């Protein structure tokens, strides 16, 4: 019996050893995983709502940041943006006490990451319709409309001359602006055409680039409505037609890779003489090419 018990003990010990060896030496295998990402062009702007409250006339607001995020899966290029001022402010609002007659987009300025200068996102200035005292029109061949470019507490007199067929989108149309802040004297009411080029026109606008370094609109674009009733001031609007202006630029023309961000800095420039209350709500639209 003792011999048999010893034999069973040996067998049991051997099995435990084999079990222990099997437990401490796991086996493995592999599986190959393949994932393909669909090509999607997509951008997201964040935040999707910006608000400036109780900004004092003649002052700027506080700066706010707006991220343009590539939330797609391919590079995007040729990023530009515009506000819907032309849709929101279709009638001349001057003389109205209703703030909603003014487009909020008309007071928005922004700069991109690569150039430290604010430009209007899309501002309208309307024909004054009345005479401006001490206005010197001699620098324009066929003066037809004039008004004030308002930039917070500063104002500058501008002047339009119509083109060959009597419209401001025709060949020969002229745009002039005064360099000096307006104080009512003839010295500050003599708009100049120097280094302002007419870059072409379409059915709606004539497009001018402002290249005089002393001008308050230096490096900006001015689109004059065909009937000379208003001008539209911009920089980073590359829509069809508006890209005719040689000063128009992309916010970013080179590639923005997936998950990368381009951050805009925005502010509002509130002029004197604007009614209190909420301006007509604006929409800033950002485009990119995928």
How far does CA 47 lie from the centroid of its chain?
Answer: 14
Dihedral angle computed from the Cα positions of residues 130, 134, 137 and 139, in that order, rounded to the nearest 10 degrees? -150
pLDDT per residue, tens digit, the chain (290 aa), is 545 544 444 444 554 454 455 556 889 999 999 999 999 999 999 999 999 999 999 999 999 999 999 999 999 999 999 999 999 999 999 999 999 999 999 999 999 999 999 999 999 999 999 999 999 999 999 999 999 999 999 999 999 999 999 999 999 999 999 999 999 999 999 999 999 999 999 999 999 999 999 999 999 999 999 999 999 999 999 999 999 999 999 999 999 999 999 999 999 999 999 999 999 999 999 999 99
CA distances from 92 to 88, 103, 122, 221, 280 (A): 11, 11, 16, 21, 14
pLDDT of residue 2: 44
Q: Give helix then strand counts, H and E, for the chain.
A: 2, 15
3-state secondary structure of 76: strand
CA neighbours within 13 Å on the CB side: how many for 278? 4
Burial class, 97, CB count within 10 angstroms (exposed 0-12 / middle 13-18 / buried 19+) = exposed
The tally of CA atoms less than 13 A away on the side-chain side of residue 121 is: 28
Rounded distance, CA 269 to CA 179, Å? 19
Is the CA virtual torsion 138, 141, 147, 149 positive or negative?
Answer: negative
The predicted structure's pLDDT at residue 9? 46
pLDDT attached to residue 23: 57
- Domain residue ranges of the chain, discontinuous segments joined by +: 49-289
The strand ranges marked E within the chain are 43-46, 64-70, 77-83, 108-111, 119-120, 123-126, 143-151, 154-161, 174-177, 196-201, 205-210, 221-225, 230-234, 261-268, 284-289
pLDDT at 22: 52
Contacts of 136 (CB under 8 A, 6+ apart): 186, 189, 190, 191
Side-by-side strand order, sheet with 261-268: 43-46, 64-70, 261-268, 108-111, 119-120
Burial of 126: CB neighbours in 10 Å, binned 0-12, 13-18, 19+: middle
User: Considering all CA atoms of the chain, what is the largest pairwise distance in Å, rounded to the nearest integer?
Assistant: 133
Quote the pLDDT of residue 25: 80
CB 111 within 8 A of CB 264: yes
The pLDDT value given to residue 211 = 98
């Amino acid at each position: 019996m003792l011999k048999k018990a010893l034999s069973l003990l040996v067998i049991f010990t051997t099995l435990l050893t084999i079990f222990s060896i099997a437990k401490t030496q796991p086996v493995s295998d592999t599986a190959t995983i393949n994932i393909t990402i669909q090509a999607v062009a997509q951008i997201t702007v964040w935040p999707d709502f910006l608000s400036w409250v109780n900004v004092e006339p003649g002052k700027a607001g506080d700066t706010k940041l707006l991220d343009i995020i590539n939330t797609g899966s391919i590079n995007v290029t040729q990023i530009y943006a515009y506000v819907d001022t032309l849709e929101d402010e279709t009638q001349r609002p001057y003389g109205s006490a209703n703030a909603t007659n003014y487009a909020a987009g008309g007071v928005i300025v922004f700069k991109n990451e690569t150039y430290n200068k604010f430009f209007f996102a899309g501002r309208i200035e309307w024909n004054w319709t009345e005479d401006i005292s001490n206005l010197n029109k001699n620098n324009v061949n066929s003066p037809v409309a004039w008004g004030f470019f308002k930039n917070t507490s500063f104002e500058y007199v501008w002047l339009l001359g119509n083109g060959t067929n009597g419209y401001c989108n025709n060949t020969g149309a002229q745009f002039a602006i005064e360099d000096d802040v307006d104080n009512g004297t003839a010295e500050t009411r003599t708009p100049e055409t120097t280094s302002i080029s007419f870059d072409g026109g379409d059915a709606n606008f004539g497009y001018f680039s402002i290249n005089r370094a002393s001008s308050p609109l230096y490096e900006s674009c001015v689109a004059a409505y065909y009937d000379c009733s208003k001008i539209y001031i911009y920089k980073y609007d590359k829509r069809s037609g508006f890209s005719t202006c040689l000063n128009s630029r992309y916010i970013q023309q080179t590639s923005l890779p997936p998950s990368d961000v381009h951050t805009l800095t925005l502010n509002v420039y509130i002029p004197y003489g604007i009614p209190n209350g909420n301006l007509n709500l604006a929409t800033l639209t950002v485009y990119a090419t995928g």
